[in-house]
Chain A
Amino acid sequence: MQVFLQTLVGGLSLGAIYALVAMGFSLVYRTMGLVNFAHADVLMIGAFAASTFYVSTKLPFALAMALAIAVTGMIGLFIERVLRPLENKDFTLMLIGTIGFGMVLQAVAVLIWGATGRAVASPVKAAPLALWGLRIRTYDLIVLAITAAAVVLLAGFLQRTKRGAAMQAVAMDHEAATAVGIHVGRSNAIAFAIGAGLAALAGGLVGPLLYVNPTMGGPIGIKGFAAAMMGGCGNIPGAIVGGLAIGVLDSFAAGHFQGYSELVVFLVFTVIIMIRPLGLFGEMTVSRA
């Protein structure tokens, strides 16, 4: 039981990171139907940027994070602008285009920061908490708290602001949204920038947990995608549940299968998604012939 709970708790902080990745991914997916394969590499750039501002420039962690989010937000705006001609037209091409951007971002990261990568010291020095015999790292709690705050802010933005409402309208029907005077391109750009910002947040937070290097995006990104799909692509609450689920699954797989954990995670994910292709919360839509 003790081991079970410890594994569960251990999975939650990475799960929160996956949830952030999945949220950014879902936000972009539901507004423009685009699967952003560059998302993982945006995360990696965010992780590098945050660690550079924090470690090299010696800025406070929160400020370093804010700067990293701003930088990746700009990258998001740029990617959206370049691919805008394809929006709502050919999703396969957009998908390949974002893979192209991913290649570019990885190459840029190697050119700026080198291929080897770096370790980032945890910003909190406090000793782990002991709670009912479980050891909980304080940094894990911070990750969970920041993720929760991000969820609340995003939900508030989407539901309480005019821009957020416009974004929801574009997600439902981009043509009708144009007809009522919403600038679809701009709305998509903002969605993309927020998605990139969420990726940077995830990247900045994951820095002290893992090793920051140019290819780190791959596994985290794909697990983030998997989380989004498990929750039902485009479904924000689903993304959070999916993220935590993948994190916990990851943690248990690492405990039981050691080196093979990744293989096990993807096999389990494939089976789940085969059984429920639209995710745990996805709605079946009927295509009209």
Chain B
Amino acid sequence: MNALLRRRSTPRLGGLAALIAVVWILPYQLGGYAIHVVDIALIFALLAIGMGLAMGIAGQINLAQVAFFGVSAYATAILTTHNGFGFWPAAALAMVAAALVGILVGIPALRMQSHYLGIVTLGLALGFINWTTNASVAGGAEGISAIPVPPLFGIDLSSEYLYYYLEAAVFAAALAFGLFVVRTGLGRRLMAMRDDPLSAGAVGAEIPLLRMTAFVLSSVYGGVAGVLYVGLIRFIAPETFNITNMFLLLAMVVIGGRQSLVGCVIGAIGLTLIREQLVDYPSYTQLGFGVVVVLMVVFAPTGLAGIPARVRAVVDRRRGRAADRAALRPFQPYEPAARPDPEADPVPPTLDVRQVSKHFRGLTALEKVSLTVERGEIRGIVGPNGSGKTTLFNVISGFYKASAGHVRLDGRVISGVRPYRLSMLGVARTFQNLRLFGELTVKDNLLVALDRTRTYAIWRYVLWPAGIWRHERRLNQQADDLLARFGLTEFAKAPPGSLPYGIQRRIEIARAMAGAPRLVLLDEPAAGLNGEEVRQLAGIVRSIRDSGATVVLIEHNMGLVMSLCERVTVLAGGAVIAEGTPAEVVGDPGVIEAYLGDSAMADMPLPTPSEARP
């Protein structure tokens, strides 16, 4: 095994060694101006990584990256020239300033997303430019010059050749850290948030904290780039941080491939070099970049980095997809847990909904709904469309705040608790219209839900990466077990969107089970399944219950409800109209009325003309 691992990683190590050799030798081949261009390209590459992390990985539109870059550059310049700080202490403070500005710009992301966020971040960037051109401490339009050369153990960093090595080292570390983040828990959570913030919250991702983290990461990369820029050029002026450069940076990230950090780097270095080649024709260059951005967006939205995967997909489709040949394996039941004896050991009900109402302005979706689900029960919730079933689930799982009443989980009041906290407390759910993380593989979908660490544990990324690594190995093992249990091993690497509907439903149940929940809420798990799949589903749900969890399911498939559920609650018009065993419920006149209209009318004899006339 060990030997195998070593052999597999040999070509990678070889490639890395070759890359290091190239980076090492490069300056010897370049003239004075060329090395300057390379130094600039590396700075743009750092900026692009930060932007890629925010936009591509976390899905937060960040058009303030040049402001982060500018804040740290200006802070370094002002602290060294005005306040007499040494270069490195100033640089450290500048990084702090950039991170603080990152938090500031990130705050709006807590309240708004997508294009709103784009405009707000762009507006704040414009505000920053406005400050640099006016503040006397920032030197106004003339900027700040005579910034000292950064000292480094007697190495003369005024030589752009030697500066290149400093930049290359910082850049390598920054890229490695970025890739580490993307390929481990934090990155997966950020990507899950990008693909579907609602279901990411439902599997335990702390969305507000993650959004702030994305902006802070972005601003720290911007900050590093700013410090390096000041040390290299030793002069700054407002036009370096203008909107044109912001959009140039955006073009780099989009053309390179925003969802891949390596793509962002390639885009940044490539466009910087092209721009330098065409330095005498800036308008044509901008025209060209603009056209390429438009073409990329329409024809290759994943950028250059996404092209290999697209080519592979086309080849696979020609040959017949691997996913088509892969088969769904049977579900392997959980070990049955000892069922508690309610007589000997009375426990509070797992789920206790008391007098819950939910109003949307004038509309009443739920009216004083009460229901109690005992531990180890399989409860069915049925009712006509629009009767409030999914709203009830949304209240229980924390998506909606109940207008009145409360919900208890194992005796503890959980109404008003955020979805990610509920997930940690052991509430898991699936969604009526499938909310898998579309751009993640099946295995990553499960890994996101398996990771039970709180989001603030990301401090370990800075202070104790080895801990992250060990945790990652454990999670991988658990994910493989879970895949095997649900018969999904052969689909581990597939994107869920490419798989048949029945398999996607099963993945969602597997994802819900990843957190070893106490209470599982299944919203129409049989919708769109064929007869055989429904039969398998019944087996899976029973096994989930046997493992010790409590299951509540909304379902329209009455055959499944009748065979699976011990008790059924019927909702109509937002209120509970019946509850009992399946047999009791189907005979209830109120239930028949809710489903079929006033059926009593049909049974009444038609009035005869003589009776009609008194």
Contacts and interface: CB of A to CB of B under 8 A. Distances in A.
Contacts of A226: 119, 123
Contact of B119 (A85, A96, A101, A225): A225
A267 interface: yes
A203 B303 CA distance: 34
B297 A260 contact: no
B290 A263 contact: no
Given A102-B290, A106-B286, A270 B114 contact: no
A197 to B, nearest CB: 22
A273 B294 contact: no
B312 to A, nearest CB: 21
B251 A100 contact: yes
Interface string B102-140: 000001100110111011101110111011011000000
Nearest to B365: A286
Contacts of A2: none
Interface stretch (B208-216, B242-250, B458-466, B502-510): B242-250
B394 A82 contact: no
A83 B295 CA distance: 9
Interface string A24-68: 000000000001010000000000000000000000000000000
Contacts of B250: 96, 99
B2 interface: no
Contact of A104 (B116, B118, B287): B287
Nearest to B63: A99
Nearest to B258: A96
A108 B288 CA distance: 11
Contacts of B130: 259-263, 266
Given A263-B130, A274-B107, A99 B247 contact: yes
Nearest to B105: A270
A84 to B, nearest CB: 9
A160 interface: no
Interface in A208-257: 215, 218-219, 222, 225-226, 229, 233
Interface in A118-142: none
A178 B576 CA distance: 39
B522 to A, nearest CB: 13
A104 B115 CA distance: 20
Given A102-B247, A103-B289, A107-B286, A289 B431 contact: yes
Given A99-B247, A103-B293, A289-B399, A91 B126 contact: no
A94 B115 CA distance: 10
A104 B291 contact: yes
A86 B297 contact: yes
A259 B126 contact: no
A101 B127 contact: no
A107 B298 CA distance: 20
B552 to A, nearest CB: 15
B543 interface: no
B254 interface: yes
B360 to A, nearest CB: 6
A266 B124 contact: yes
Interface string A77-95: 0000011011000111111
B131 A222 contact: no
A103 B108 contact: no
Residue of A100, A233, A288 contacting most chain B CB atoms (<10 Å)? A100
Contacts of B111: 273-274, 277
A263 B131 contact: yes
Contacts of B287: 103-104, 107-108, 111
A104 B126 contact: no
Contacts of B116: 229, 233, 273, 277
B124 A270 contact: yes
Interface string B175-199: 0000000000000000000000010
Interface residues of B, number: 51
Contacts of B360: 286
A45 B243 CA distance: 18
A86 B298 contact: yes
A269 interface: yes
B126 A270 contact: no
B390 interface: yes
A261 B114 CA distance: 26
A263 B360 CA distance: 38
Contacts of B123: 222, 226, 266, 269-270
A110 interface: yes
A227 B206 CA distance: 32
Given A101-B294, A103-B290, A215-B244, A92 B114 contact: yes
Contacts of A117: none
A289 B394 contact: yes
B136 to A, nearest CB: 10
B291 A100 contact: yes
B134 A260 contact: yes
Interface string B392-421: 011000010000000000000000000000
Contact of A273 (B61, B112, B122, B254): B112
A104 B294 contact: yes
Contacts of A267: 124, 127
B270 interface: no
B113 to A, nearest CB: 9
Given A229-B119, A263-B127, A277-B112, A101 B107 contact: no
Contact of A97 (B112, B243, B247, B298): B298
Nearest to A273: B120
A85 B298 contact: yes
Contacts of B124: 266-267, 270
Nearest to A91: B114
Interface in B541-569: none
A105 to B, nearest CB: 8
B298 A259 contact: no
B334 interface: no
Residue of A90, A215, A225, A287 contacting most chain B CB atoms (<10 Å)? A225
Interface string B191-233: 0000000100000000000000000000000000000000000
Given A103-B247, A104-B290, 11 more contacts: A86-B298, A91-B114, A91-B115, A93-B297, A105-B290, A107-B287, A218-B243, A260-B131, A260-B134, A262-B130, A273-B111
Interface of B: 59, 61, 107-108, 111-112, 114-116, 118-120, 122-124, 126-128, 130-131, 133-134, 198, 243-244, 247, 250-251, 254, 283-284, 286-287, 289-294, 296-298, 301, 360, 390, 393-394, 399, 431-432, 435
Closest 6 A/B residue pairs (Cβ): A100-B293, A103-B290, A104-B290, A35-B115, A259-B134, A107-B287
Interface of A: 35, 37, 82-83, 85-86, 90-97, 99-108, 110-111, 115, 215, 218-219, 222, 225-226, 229, 233, 259-263, 265-267, 269-270, 273-274, 277, 286-289
